[in-house]
């Protein structure tokens, strides 16, 4: 089998509600990059990556130039066994993990289709019928966030990410955590996420003010060292996100004592291949994991759900149905949340079939 064509689309995804985070980060309408890899035997593989503004050194319109640079390595190559071809791509073009993430996902999709197996079977086998989700709550007025949490709890959600810091008011962040904790009651997991936007001083003030609550903090500061200061000052468990992007950063965060939990995002690591290696390291280190991605629709959601399904349920904290937060859906028949949980797609490969009428004409074709 050989790769004969790469096709790329850029699709605007609109959040169902404006999504506010600290330090000016927002998700309202964001462009996702959708990749199709065609072969000489008629099989196609789908990939997707969706960078969001101000979050990572990545942008949707960077995917096309990276693929154009990689075209001499990819066109005519055997796509079966994603890691072999990705090793060649990494040797030819260093970095640009977010662009390679879409490619890697498409290669796993192709490999699964060629084998007649779902991707989770290739990643070690299905460990769970379905997986727990978390519900991310945009950073708005504390009372409104509590209402959103209560509604989601009534629909079966049991894990809640509370965005903090959008207004720079540490006391409002205290109210956000307290009111959400009260709204969902005892038991559900609640964690406050600054997305790197807080100083260690402000995050420590918030953490000390809610130290009597059952809550966790997520990535308050931009460095592991500052996150460690917050952990030491508050005594609260901590989840890493932005600072977790390769095996070296995972080891550093673990050594600093700030990785009780960690977000493993496909776009940050470079796709399923690299994120699976990160998952296996976290199994050794003892961290709970959120298997997810930065943003996106059904293709990237399908990919991360396969990896989540192949992860030890005792170590999988949660996963994410990114496609439920945005429209349009690229595959209207893709899995949806049910009682706070979700199952991976069925069928060979990713089990995702994008709507070609929705995609329209590709913005880039390489053949």
* Catalytic positions: 163, 265
Contacts (Cβ under 8 Å, ≥6 apart) of 131: 305, 308, 309, 313, 316, 318, 319, 341, 342, 343
In contact, 271 and 296? CB cutoff 8 Å: no
Question: Nearest 5°: CA angle at 86, between 289 and 255?
Answer: 35
Quote the CA–CA distance of 118 and 66 in Å, as a whole number.
Answer: 28
List residues bridging with 6 in a β-sheet.
37, 366
Quote the CA–CA distance of 122 and 213 in Å, as a whole number.
Answer: 41
Contacts (Cβ under 8 Å, ≥6 apart) of 48: 32, 33, 34, 35, 102, 105, 296, 297, 299, 300, 303, 330
Quote the CA–CA distance of 131 and 129 in Å, as a whole number.
Answer: 7
In contact, 197 and 23? CB cutoff 8 Å: yes
- Which among 312, 316, 293 has a CA at the least distance from the CA of 303? 293
Quote the CA–CA distance of 305 and 308 in Å, as a whole number.
Answer: 5
């Amino acid at each position: 089998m050989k790769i004969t064509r790469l096709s790329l689309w850029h699709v605007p995804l609109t959040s169902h509600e404006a999504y506010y985070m600290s330090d000016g980060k927002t998700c309202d309408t964001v462009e996702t990059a959708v990749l199709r890899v065609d072969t000489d035997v008629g099989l196609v593989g789908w990939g997707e990556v969706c960078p969001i503004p101000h979050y990572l050194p990545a942008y949707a319109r960077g995917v096309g130039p990276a693929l154009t640079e990689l075209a001499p390595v990819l066109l005519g190559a055997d796509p079966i066994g994603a890691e072999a071809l990705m090793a060649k791509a990494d040797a030819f073009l260093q970095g640009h993990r977010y662009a390679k993430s879409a490619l890697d996902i498409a290669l796993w999709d192709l490999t699964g289709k060629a084998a007649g197996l779902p991707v989770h079977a290739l990643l070690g086998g299905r460990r769970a019928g379905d997986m727990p989700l978390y519900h991310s709550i945009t950073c708005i007025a504390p009372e409104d966030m509590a209402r959103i949490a209560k509604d989601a709890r009534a629909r079966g959600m049991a894990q809640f990410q509370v965005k903090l810091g959008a207004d720079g008011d540490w006391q409002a962040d205290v109210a956000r955590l307290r009111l959400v904790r009260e709204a969902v009651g005892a038991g559900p997991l609640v964690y406050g996420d600054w997305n790197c936007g807080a100083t260690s001083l402000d995050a420590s003030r918030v953490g000390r003010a809610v130290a009597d609550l059952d809550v966790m903090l997520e990535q308050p500061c931009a460095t592991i060292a500052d996150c460690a200061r917050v952990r030491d000052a508050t005594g609260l468990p901590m989840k890493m996100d932005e600072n977790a992007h390769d095996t070296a950063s995972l080891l550093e965060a673990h050594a600093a004592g700030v990785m009780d939990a960690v977000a493993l995002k496909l776009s940050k690591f470079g796709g399923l291949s690299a994120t699976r290696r990160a998952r296996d390291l976290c199994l050794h280190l003892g961290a709970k994991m959120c298997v997810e991605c930065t943003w996106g629709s059904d293709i990237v959601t399908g990919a991360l759900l396969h990896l989540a399904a192949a992860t030890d349920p005792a170590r999988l904290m949660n996963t994410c149905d990114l496609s439920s937060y945005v429209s349009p859906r690229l595959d209207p028949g893709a899995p949806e949340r049910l009682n706070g949980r979700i199952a991976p797609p069925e069928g060979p490969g990713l089990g995702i079939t994008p709507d070609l009428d929705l995609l329209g004409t590709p913005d880039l074709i390489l053949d």
